[in-house]
């Protein structure tokens, strides 16, 4: 390793320990401070990191790129804090921004890797890709002139992404077609739906929330508005399904909770910075007009899903059915870094309205279901006779609880 590389590594080590580049380079050049104080410890730690990076660079069995080595060092530093904090490479940071925003620029296709190459697994109905004639099962051979072979799904995704209003050019091979098919498709803003809904029975609605994004609350409110009301003008009950919901945006979960509460604490959090300490209270206005709620949870219900479950449960608005939740009682903040990277860092611990921390323990349901756990069943096709409660045992139990008048407690 060159002297310049050593200097950069030492400076890097100093930086991540709270030293400036100028301080780090100076202490490496001049030696450690004479007084055994905090600066001495920082110098020794910076020297240790620089020495380890140097040894890896020079002696590891395969050559290691300095840039990637430093990124790995940063990732290890952050991920050693807890299981939820992580350093995000540019592509991961962009993917997380898309996931939490609830919308993304694209043409409306989903991809999957196959031995033959990258296949379009699904084409969203009504999307630009669908309108252009692209079909599920098409094999992508080129995107923007870049050949796409087996294992190149990341390359395909990178070239498919772009600004709304721009055009992407792709070539596909279709089963039954001799010649390749070429398409030019304009990118538009597409939504990642997080709420699906149907009627379980007259006057009883079903809402499945798969994650919490920037559009979840508005999706849920739109779904509620579409439920046909019985003669009384009010819904007789609601089943909210949070099974396998990994969480997402805390504000989205709080807004959904507020939709079903007239008053009360939704969630509180404690952290070291002012932004990490907060209390969220409900405002008057229950969009369900007090309809009893059965809320289904399981071991895959985590984070923001647990915030919603606890808020409705502790404020006596919902009865929980299913299995103990995951137990993620911390809040992560997504921080942008230079060069398009990001940092997902645990900044708060949150508390339920009853004052409990569920971190590592989860939430025990009021009605515990036994037997093998299975994912939620597909919803009924629009316009068909409702059968979901017959095909999905937890939904059937939630419906029975409502009919028995046990929707609240």
Q: Which of 241, 294, 328, 344 is catalytic?
A: 328
Q: Which of 127, 314, 330, 344 is catalytic?
A: 314
Average pLDDT over residues 355-376: 92
The answer to whether the 103-191 and 195-403 domains have the same CATH topology is: no
Alpha-carbon span 176 to 171, nearest angstrom: 15
CA distances from 13 to 25, 91, 108, 157, 403 (A): 10, 25, 44, 34, 63
Average pLDDT over residues 320-342: 94
Q: Which of 210, 211, 303, 348 is catalytic?
A: 303
Q: Are 243 and 295 in contact (CB under 8 A)?
A: no
**Residue indicated by tokens 């895959």:** 300
Classified by CATH at the fold level, domain 103-191 comes out as Pdz3 Domain (2.30.42)
For residue 13, the model assigns a pLDDT of: 47
Residue 303 bears catalytic tag = yes
Neighbouring C-beta atoms of residue 135, cutoff 10 Å: 15
Residue spans of the domains in the chain: they are: 3-80, 103-191, 195-403
For residue 35, the model assigns a pLDDT of: 52
Instruction: Say which residue, 101 or 197, is predicted with more confidence.
Output: 197
As a whole number, the mean pLDDT across the chain is 87
Residue 328 bears catalytic tag = yes
User: Given a cut of 50, is residue 23 above it in pLDDT?
Assistant: no
Average pLDDT over residues 200-223: 95
Average pLDDT over residues 124-149: 91
Q: Indicate the SS3 state at residue 103.
A: strand
Rounded to 5°, the CA angle 298-300-303 comes to 105
Tokens of 267: 């969630």
Considering the entire predicted model, what is its pTM?
Answer: 0.80
Tokens of 75: 């990732």
Residue 348 bears catalytic tag = no
Nearest Cα residue to 334 out of 161, 34, 100? 100
Residue by residue, DSSP assigns 116-168 as: TEEEEEEE-TTSHHHHHT--TTPEEEEETTEE--TT-HHHHHHHH---TT-EE
- Banded model confidence at residue 151, pLDDT cuts 50, 70, 90: confident
Q: Indicate the SS3 state at residue 337.
A: coil
User: Given a cut of 80, is residue 170 above it in pLDDT?
Assistant: yes
Alpha-carbon span 295 to 245, nearest angstrom: 12
Q: For 195-403, CATH number?
A: 3.90.226.10
For residue 34, the model assigns a pLDDT of: 52
Instruction: Say which residue, 35 or 181, is predicted with more confidence.
Output: 181
Q: Are 148 and 170 in contact (CB under 8 A)?
A: no
Alpha-carbon span 207 to 256, nearest angstrom: 12
Q: Indicate the SS3 state at residue 348.
A: strand
User: Given a cut of 80, is residue 22 above it in pLDDT?
Assistant: no
Percent of the chain exceeding pLDDT 70 equals: 90
What confidence tens digit (pLDDT) does each residue in 61-88 have? 999 888 888 888 889 999 999 999 999 9
**Picking from 212-216, 319-323, 403-407, which range would have the lowest pLDDT averaged per residue?**
403-407
């Amino acid at each position: 390793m060159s002297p310049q590389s050593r200097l950069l590594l030492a400076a890097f080590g100093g930086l991540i320990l709270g030293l400036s580049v100028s301080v780090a380079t100076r202490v490496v050049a001049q030696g450690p401070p004479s007084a055994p104080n905090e600066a001495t410890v920082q110098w020794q730690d910076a020297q240790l990191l620089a020495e380890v990076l140097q040894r890896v660079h020079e002696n590891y069995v395969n050559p290691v790129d300095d840039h990637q080595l430093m990124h790995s060092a940063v990732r290890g530093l952050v991920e050693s804090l807890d299981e939820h904090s992580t350093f995000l490479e540019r592509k991961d940071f962009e993917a997380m921004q898309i996931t939490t925003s609830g919308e993304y620029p694209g043409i409306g296709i989903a991809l999957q890797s196959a031995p033959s190459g990258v296949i379009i697994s699904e084409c969203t109905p009504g999307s630009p890709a669908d309108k252009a004639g692209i079909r599920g099962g098409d094999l992508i051979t080129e995107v923007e002139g870049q050949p796409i072979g087996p294992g190149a799904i990341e390359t395909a995704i990178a070239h498919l992404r772009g600004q709304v209003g721009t055009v992407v050019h792709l070539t596909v091979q279709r089963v039954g077609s001799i010649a390749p098919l070429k398409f030019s498709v304009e990118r538009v803003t597409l939504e990642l739906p997080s709420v699906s809904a149907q009627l379980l029975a007259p006057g009883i609605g079903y809402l499945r929330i798969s994650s919490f994004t920037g559009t979840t609350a508005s999706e849920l409110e739109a779904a509620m508005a579409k439920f046909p009301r019985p003669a009384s003008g009010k819904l007789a009950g609601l089943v909210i399904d949070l099974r396998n919901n990994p969480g997402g945006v805390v504000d989205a979960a709080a807004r959904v909770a507020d939709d079903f509460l007239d008053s009360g604490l939704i969630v509180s959090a404690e952290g070291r910075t002012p932004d990490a300490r907060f209390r969220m209270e409900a405002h008057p206005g229950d969009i369900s007009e007090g309809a009893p709620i059965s809320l289904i949870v399981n071991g895959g219900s985590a984070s923001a899903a647990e915030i919603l479950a606890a808020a409705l449960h502790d404020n006596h608005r919902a009865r929980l059915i299913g299995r103990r939740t995951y137990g993620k009682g911390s809040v992560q903040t997504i921080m942008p870094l230079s060069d398009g990277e990001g940092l997902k860092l645990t900044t708060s611990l949150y508390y339920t309205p009853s004052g409990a921390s569920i971190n590592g323990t989860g939430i025990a349901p009021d009605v515990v279901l036994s037997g093998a756990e299975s994912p939620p069943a597909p919803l009924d096709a629009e316009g068909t006779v409702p059968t979901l409660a017959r095909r999905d045992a937890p939904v059937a139990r939630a419906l029975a609880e409502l009919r028995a008048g046990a929707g609240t407690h």
